[in-house]
Amino acid sequence: MRAIDDAYGSLRTVRALPMSPAEVDALAEEFEPRPAEDVLAWAVDRFAGRIVLTCSWQQQSSVLLDMCSRLGADIRVVELDTGLLFPETYATRDALIARYGVTVERVDPLRTVAEQAEDEGPELWAREPDRCCGLRKVEPLERALTGMDAWVTGIRRAQSPTRAGARKVQLDARRGVVKIQPLVDWDDERVKGYLFAHDVPYNPLHDQGYPSIGCVPCTRRVAEGEDARAGRWAGTGKTECGLHL
């Protein structure tokens, strides 16, 4: 366990920034009124060979993979597989790979779910969800970002108050990458509209009361009118897994 904690800690060292905060602010202003495809195309060109798209296999992943395909974008695609995802999520991944012929690099946690239970006791997510997310999501992300200058994510402002200030281009200074967030200003209707217009495979759980989908133990259906992320870590006060600082 010590080795794992050391590995986790060593990745927390601050990296040099690929762009200055002033440059990133100017780009965020420039791209704010422009379409998602513009920022994605710019980023793939600007950070060629040093840009990664992470996929959670929620509906935003479907949109971004379709856009990358239409743009002919040469981009590294990574999934952070906690080992605890829904069967529907894995099936969505497989459907998207089949549709777009994309190579997806899986980055696993350092320990399997069973090994984590042996070391930390069963169901760490129920006792220490921040540590569980740190081990199964954040540490793998930070490994995936090693050597990268830019990280494309599908987060949207409408998803939660904690994401309301997200921009299309912003710095993750701690991880030393520029975050590219082409869909930040999209609402649910726009996402659904894109998926239907282009006949893109998407996670069927979105149509079954799951606006936000994570690991099985920490995701539940939401009721009509509830916040979109109310079904994540319900009752714990936790609202983010730590990927998006």
Rule CB under 6 A: choose which of 136, 156, 168, 206 binds ligand SF4.
136
Q: Which is nearer to ligand SF4, 110 or 195 (CB)?
A: 110
> How many of the chain's residues bind ligand SF4 (CB under 6 A)?
13
- Is there binding between residue 19 and ligand SF4 (CB under 6 A)? no
Q: What is the footprint of ligand SF4 within residues 180-219 (CB under 6 A)?
A: 214-215, 217-218
- Amino acid at the residue 206: H
Q: Which of 17, 71, 84, 173 binds ligand SF4 (CB under 6 A)?
A: 84
The gap between the terminal CA atoms of the chain, to the nearest Å, is: 25
| Residue whose beta carbon is closest to ligand SF4 | 215
In three-state form (DSSP H/G/I as H, E/B as E, the rest C), the secondary structure along 164-229 is CCCCCEEEECCCCEEEECCCCCCCHHHHHHHHHHCCCCCCHHHHHCCCCCCEHHHECCCCCCCCCC
125 sits near ligand SF4 (criterion: CB under 6 A): yes
Tokens encoding 112: 């399997």
**Nearest distance from C-beta of residue 56 to ligand SF4, angstroms:** 11
Q: Which of 36, 133, 222, 243 binds ligand SF4 (CB under 6 A)?
A: 133
Q: How far is the CB of 238 from ligand SF4 (least distance, A)?
A: 8
The residue range among 40-48, 72-80, 125-133, 141-149 that interacts with ligand SF4, by the rule CB under 6 A, is 125-133
Residue 99 or 111 having the CB closest to ligand SF4? 111
Task: Please report, for residues 19, 36, 184, 234, the alpha-carbon distance to residue 41 in angstroms, rounded to integers and kept in the order given.
Answer: 18, 9, 16, 37
* Alpha helical stretches, state H, the chain: 2-10, 21-31, 36-46, 59-71, 87-100, 113-120, 124-127, 129-133, 139-144, 188-197
Neighbours of 188 (CB within 10 A): 14
Write out the binding residues for ligand SF4, residues 48-77 only, by CB under 6 A: none
The answer to whether 82 contacts ligand SF4 (rule: CB under 6 A) is yes
Residues near 170 by Cβ (< 8 Å), separated by ≥ 6?
24, 28, 178, 179, 181
Active site residue 241: yes
Per DSSP, 141 falls in state H
Q: Nearer Cβ to ligand SF4, position 57 or 100?
A: 57
Q: Which stretch binds ligand SF4 (CB under 6 A): 97-105, 124-132, 186-194, 195-203?
A: 124-132
Nearest-angstrom CA–CA distance, 26 and 227: 32
Q: How far apart are CA 120 and CA 110, in angstroms?
A: 13
Stretch that binds ligand SF4, among 64-72, 91-99, 131-139, 176-184 (CB under 6 A): 131-139
Active-site positions read 241
Query: Can you give the binding site for ligand SF4, defined by CB under 6 A?
Result: 82, 84, 125, 129, 132-133, 136-137, 214-215, 217-218, 241
